Amino acid sequence: MCFLFPRTKLSLVFKLIIMHNNKQFNYLNLLLLALLILGSCKKSSEITYNEPAMVYFYKYGINADSLHYTFANKDVERTEDTVYLHFRIMGDAAEQDREVNLIVEDSSTAVQGVDFSFGAEVIHAGAFEDSIAVILHKTAKLDTTAATIHLAIGASKDFKPGYTDNGINLSGTGSRLQYSIIMSNQLNKPDNWDGSLSRYFGSYSRVKFQFIISVSGITDWTSTPYPATLTFIVQQTKAALLQYKQDNGHPLLDEYNQEVTLP
């Protein structure tokens, strides 16, 4: 049964009710009321439709269109690690798992099954947001060059590709149907250095970053530590730099032959 009426039809219904209260209600009015209800139901059914289910990359944060990963700041014994791709759907959640079609584009230099592999490529039952694991493998070529994984979302039996525009992400570039992972075994500048880490550590250099890692013991810089933790690391590193100078008779120099200092 329908209970939603256009405003003009509702006004007519109210008039009929008033007429009924005035004892003027008759079979003709009753027929008219029935037609109004059926007409409203018919119109509602005509404008109601189901869009196909769609999926897209949920991008947020710094450099939202890509992820830079290095094994160089991890334990030397680690031979693989897992990162996650985040997704949102357009449409309703389902009672069963649904497949996502992840396409490895030809421009990729990383090889699926050698340099990386995927976990289950599904949006789980009941989920509007979900993640898919990408297992990265530390291979010998990563010691000298970075390998890239360029991904796109294709149509599957359960989902069509979602948005093709940027969406609301802080990088302001790229599409919500593409994402890239750049992996290496070299010490790369963290994505969040220029944003938050530089306020504590100053300008970036590979030697400085490696020294901070050795002093702090922190190997995962994919997220920014709390301010109190960063302040403590700065104090630790300054003390260690002073000790290095006393032990070696000269300051620590970076790859640009500049003294390593912190603000």
Per domain, the residue ranges of the chain are 7-47, 54-184, 193-248
Contact (CB, 8 A) for 156 and 100? yes
Q: Is 137 helix (H, G, I), strand (E, B) or coil?
A: strand
Q: Kindly state the average pLDDT of the residues 16-29.
A: 51
Q: Which CATH code fits 54-184? A: 2.60.40.1510
Nearest to 220 by CA among 69, 23, 119, 102: 69
**pTM value > 0.85:** no
50, burial (CB in 10 Å: exposed 0-12, middle 13-18, buried 19+): exposed
Which tens digits make up the pLDDT trace of 81-100?
Answer: 999 999 999 999 999 999 99
190 neighbors 180 (Cβ within 8 angstroms): no
Assigned token pair, 29: 């009015």
Averaged pLDDT for residues 43-65: 69
